[in-house]
Structure 1
């Protein structure tokens, strides 16, 4: 019975290992890609999904006084893009060489 149990366990483990399940990784943003810790080759930026909050973006705002909108709407630029050599956490997409950055560290 233990041989059967060991064989089933081995098949299940091999199956999981071959699935390339997503995992959190740590990396350094190079400006042109990601250098994943423990991997020799950097991932180019075209293989990386960078969330909106880690880019420079515009925000439209209007002042509120006493619960009412007053004045004109104004557009402000938020400078929050990743900078070279910043540390990030990311996930590798399942079964792919593509990565999605979660956030800076």
Structure 2
């Protein structure tokens, strides 16, 4: 039951992100495929102990339009002001060196 609960939570989180990126994609039905590709993208984790933030810096994609969608998703995720579990670090999502 525990694993099923984790799967449900993950699916709901992914569905929320699908709803965000769907409006920025030319084919809204490709939102889940877009996110699967994003999950496989490399990222840098940059803790800032002074400001108590953890920046997740995603690497740029090969296409400019994809970068625009990722940047919009980062804006939406940053607006939630989510904290990294069991810490005082607020998560900040950004694309590349922007």
TM-score (norm 2): 0.23
Computing the radius of gyration from Cα coordinates, the structure with the larger value is 1
Name whichever structure is richer in strand by fraction: 1
Higher-RCO chain (CA-CA 8 Å, sequence separation at least 6): 1
Name whichever structure is richer in helix by fraction: 2
